[in-house]
Amino acid sequence: MNDVIHITTGGGGAPLRAPDPSSPNIIETIEAYHFCKVEINNSTLNFTVVTPGGTTIDEFTIENPLPVELVSFTAIVTNNQVLLKWVTETEVNNYGFDVERRVNKGKFEKIGFVEGHGNSNSPKEYSFVDINVTGGIYSYRLKQIDTDGKFEFSKVIEIDVGTPIDYELSQNYPNPFNPSTTIRFSLAQSGNVKLTVYNLLGEQVAELVNGLKEGGVHTINFSASELNSGIYFYKLESGDFLKVKKMSLVR
């Protein structure tokens, strides 16, 4: 979807500054001498600076200024309900999230919608409660929808309602990976949790979780964009539980 909007510089030939894409109102029009035509093509911002007479004096582009980055997705069983929580690191043109559920081996169906924050460069927390659950295996996923109608699915999170949850650290997926992967773990009860990543020398290279977490199933997205290729280890600690698994980063 392409939109063309006109904005201005600060007037009097003042230098043009690209609008902050994290602002919900990134395009504003004020009275001035120079004008900027902004073409929005999906997540690409194309700027053309023109004089009132129509002469082009500058052009520049911002590619994918802020993707909708999902950093965690959690499912927790409480009082015969499933509480879903998720956090985004950044957002652009985020209309919202369809919450979809699959029971046992059935098909995914939409069970609700949570409105997004539009544009943001700071973490945003979301939640949804599924009150219509009995026993069985429930799978959940998020359908993140842009304002132009494009969408993307999250990873699927699965929880067995009616069966006690044990402490568990699952193998990351995908593995090998480049540069991002998902780490899933389960907690039998609420408590302090620490999830860290180490290199082959035993040096800590990332701390993904360090604090109180509720009992349930948790997924964490890990980006290794600043690390070199190689073997890494991730360790989960909670109370007396400690487990380590290996993963491979391949550039």
Report CA 201 to chain centroid distance, whole Å: 30
Q: Does the pLDDT at position 207 exceed 80?
A: yes
Q: Does the pLDDT at position 233 exceed 80?
A: yes
d(CA 19, CA 65): 11
pLDDT tens-digit profile of 133-175? 887 889 999 999 999 999 999 989 988 887 778 899 999 999 9
Residue 51's pLDDT band (boundaries 50, 70, 90)? low
d(CA 219, CA 224): 16
Both tokens of 209, joined, read 């979780």
Please, what is the average pLDDT of the chain? 80
Identify the residue whose tokens are 């009860």.
189
d(CA 89, CA 120): 8
Pair type for strands 136-146 and 157-161:
antiparallel
Identify the residue whose tokens are 């395009």.
27
Question: Comparing C-alpha atoms, which of 160, 155, 159, 217 is closest to residue 184?
Answer: 217
d(CA 50, CA 13): 11
Both tokens of 53, joined, read 């007479």
Judge contact between 57 and 49, C-beta under 8 A: yes
Question: Comparing C-alpha atoms, which of 208, 170, 213 is closest to residue 189?
Answer: 213
Domains of the chain: residue spans and CATH: 2-62 (no CATH), 66-163 (2.60.40.10), 165-251 (2.60.40.2550)
Both tokens of 38, joined, read 């902004």
Name residues whose C-beta falls within 8 Å of residue 203's C-beta, 6 or more positions apart in sequence.
Answer: none
What is the predicted pLDDT for the residue at 48? 67
Q: Does the pLDDT at position 34 exceed 50?
A: no
What is the predicted pLDDT for the residue at 60? 57
What is the predicted pLDDT for the residue at 8? 37
d(CA 188, CA 171): 18
pTM of the full structure:
0.61
